[in-house]
A and B are shown apart, each in its own frame.
Chain A
């Protein structure tokens, strides 16, 4: 299906375990982003990527790792999950600056993560 998808949609894990959240987009957008959404904080940027093999930290990167070996995929890994990482995680993508859709960021449906 076209668009931006995330998997899994729901995940329960335990403190200390490694968890990987997947994000896939079919538009060949250059930019991809990971956010977390928490009550009272809105959306906070974790990491973003301007192109394959180029990643950069956002506002709250500690405890997370990303990679982008292919343009269409941008996985987010929690190396050792903590309870404070319980949240809803959103992936997003956007086209290149100067393109017709440069200003519009498209969001996936989200992954609800519970760390026990």
Chain B
């Protein structure tokens, strides 16, 4: 079946550190892939997406590349800020539905 696996958190970093949050997926065919972000007390917001292999999604300094050969979609940012502290969800879409990973909490300290 279709599933998404994310690294467990929390991920704790100092401001300006490099961020990687790993995401791998299992799916039939070639799903669209997404990263959503949830700030405290809010709903999820789309951060970036990629719809086919080798596509790179990017937004707000975050990037993720759709790697078909490793079935991965790792999230990266070169220099995190305190305001990036949130929970990040990797997801895939097959047919009508999104399938989410369990989320990774990021905590950035000054």
Contacts and interface: CB of A to CB of B under 8 A. Distances in A.
B32 interface: yes
A104 B49 contact: yes
Interface residues of B, number: 19
Nearest to A110: B43
Contacts of B89: 42-43
B21 to A, nearest CB: 14
A62 B50 CA distance: 33
A103 B102 contact: no
A107 B103 contact: no
B101 A42 contact: yes
Interface in B52-94: 89, 93
A48 B43 contact: no
B44 A90 contact: yes
Mostly, the A contact residues are strand
A42 B102 contact: yes
Contacts, number: 44
A109 interface: yes
B20 interface: no
A108 B43 contact: yes
Nearest to B46: A104
B107 to A, nearest CB: 16
B100 interface: yes
Interface in B21-44: 32, 34, 36, 42-44
A49 B96 CA distance: 9
A105 interface: yes
A48 B96 contact: yes
A106 B49 CA distance: 13
Interface in A58-107: 58, 90, 92, 103-107
Interface of A: 31, 33, 40-45, 48, 50, 56, 58, 90, 92, 103-110
Interface of B: 32, 34, 36, 42-46, 49, 51, 89, 93, 96-98, 100-103
Given A40-B102, A110-B42, 8 more contacts: A33-B97, A33-B98, A42-B103, A50-B96, A103-B32, A104-B46, A105-B46, A105-B98
